[in-house]
Structure 1
Amino acid sequence: MSNCSNHEPSEGVSWSRAILFANGSVPDAKSLDLAIADTDWLVGVDGGTEHCLAMGLAPHVVVGDMDSLAGEQRARLTREGVRMDVHPVAKDKTDLELAMDLAVAESVCEVLVVGVWGGRLDQSLANMLLLGRYAGRLRVRFTDGKEHGAVLVGEDELEIQGAQGSVCSLVPVSGLVDRVTVEGMQYPLHNALIHQGDTLAVSNRITSSRASVGIGQGILVVVWFGE
């Protein structure tokens, strides 16, 4: 018998957000506060499914080549009716990219990726670039419970609330990011131009209960720290 709970959207209501539990580092999955709603679609990304289960939740689908999800967990979830989207180990996409494709196909508006980095540096770098590529189709956010982030694309804006005192960094993943505006931080910016590889906006600090980052063009990853 499972101790995990599942949820479905109300009749006539579609999924609005996909929460992808990736197989990266999550220091304390049991304490994660993701403000899960009935319209959230829970996706276990191979071994990252363990983070979902640690929260006492059952995923709606598990995707990947199943090389890192324990066999007994996979068998139990299958018995409980969880959809298993199994792919071969030899494939052209990572498990996280397969999960992002599922989110696009499900027509959700937003993706929250839990455990997007940690462990292998190559995977962490690839994941950041991957999220940047999908940001034009989905509103992309990510967290491990202590580090939080968002991907801005095109003419876009982000408001950060309740993180006063936290370090915040802006990292361009496109060739350049134009019209960068930062407010509510120690080092404000106004219509700045930041090229890929520039460290101008690394290690800023949030000084207000409400800080904001806006861009006019490009793809920008925003990362901030705090519980």
Structure 2
Amino acid sequence: MEKKVNDITRRHSALLVLNGEFPDSALFDALLEHHSLIICADGAANILLNMGFWPEVIIGDLDSVEIPAGKEIARGTIVIENGDQYSTDFEKALLYLSDKGFKEISIVGLKGGRFDHQITNLSILCQFSSEFNFRLFDNDGIGYVLTDSKSSMTTNMPANTVISLLPLTKVTGIQTRRLKYPLDNEALQFGDRNGQSNASLGGEISISLKSGSLICYILMPSWWTQREMYSKLINCY
């Protein structure tokens, strides 16, 4: 029997599936349980459809979506064809979510595939970072986008957990607590200074900024399962 994504009880936030590397089933199942809307950007829908999942929304120019042989579009799934060639399918999905009033957005499939697509995706994250609270999931870890409007995060981390601070713009006033290489009212900037591969000292860590946009990427320790990672980190931001 096909499993409709919207048969699962979740909180009011959206899971946006892009056409990059797809997470393993444990992580994806955990994400399904916590989101009230599943939206696919064009060809990303193919992975879900082949798994027997029908998202609530498929949006894009629809040049890559392939309905599996012998199947029809499930009742309740909204398919939106938008042929605008001056915006990407990622942007079209975010504009749809903005119109529907969503603020909490988790993303899978951001990385992987063509290099130019990955760089463009980062640019789009920066473009929309003041409008949404983004969480980025892959099989290696989780990223939080911190901005002027969502400028801090706090969570408990085991000692030696790798944490990278990756600036999307010039970022000022960065303060960290309980990191191996602390930052005290300092700046990071793409193309100038980055914050890759810092590490937690254990206990409660915190990261904040005054201006700009950065990704705080937390590497998943090998002994965590993806479900444990999600449950631990979903509410720290």
- Alignment match, 2:174: 180
Whether contact under 8 Å (1:29, 1:55) holds in the other structure is: no
Counting only pairs closer than 5 Å after superposition, residues 16-165 of structure 1 correspond to structure 2 as: 16-32=12-28, 33-34=30-31, 36-37=33-34, 40-53=36-49, 57-72=53-68, 76=71, 78-88=73-83, 91-154=85-148, 156-162=151-157, 164-165=159-160
Whether contact under 8 Å (1:42, 1:61) holds in the other structure is: yes
RMSD of the TM alignment (CA)? 2.7
2:6 aligned with 1:6, yes or no? yes
Task: Name the CA distance, whole Å, in 2 between partners of 1:103 and 1:206.
Answer: 34
Aligned residues: 219
1:115–1:163 CA distance, 2 compared to 1 (3 A): farther
Counting only pairs closer than 5 Å after superposition, residues 193-204 of structure 1 correspond to structure 2 as: 193-204=187-198
1:52–1:164 CA distance, 2 compared to 1 (3 A): farther
- Please report the TM-score for the alignment, with normalisation by the length of structure 1: 0.84
Tell me how far 1:120 sits from its aligned partner.
1.0
Task: Name the CA distance, whole Å, in 2 between partners of 1:215 and 1:51.
Answer: 37
**% identical aligned pairs:** 25
- Please report the TM-score for the alignment, with normalisation by the length of structure 2: 0.80
- SS at 2:215 equivalent: strand
1:99–1:178 CA distance, 2 compared to 1 (3 A): same
Tell me how far 1:70 sits from its aligned partner.
2.0
1:203–1:117 CA distance, 2 compared to 1 (3 A): same
User: Which whole-Å deviations, capped at 9, do the CAs of 1:169-211 have from their partners, x for residues lacking one?
Assistant: 112212x211101222211111112233233411111232432
User: Which whole-Å deviations, capped at 9, do the CAs of 1:43-74 have from their partners, x for residues lacking one?
Assistant: 0112222454577643111111223322327x
Task: Name the CA distance, whole Å, in 1 between partners of 2:102 and 2:217.
Answer: 23
Segments of structure 2 that go 5 or more residues without pairing to the other structure are 221-225, 227-237
Task: Name the CA distance, whole Å, in 2 between partners of 1:29 and 1:67.
Answer: 26
Tell me how far 1:123 sits from its aligned partner.
0.7
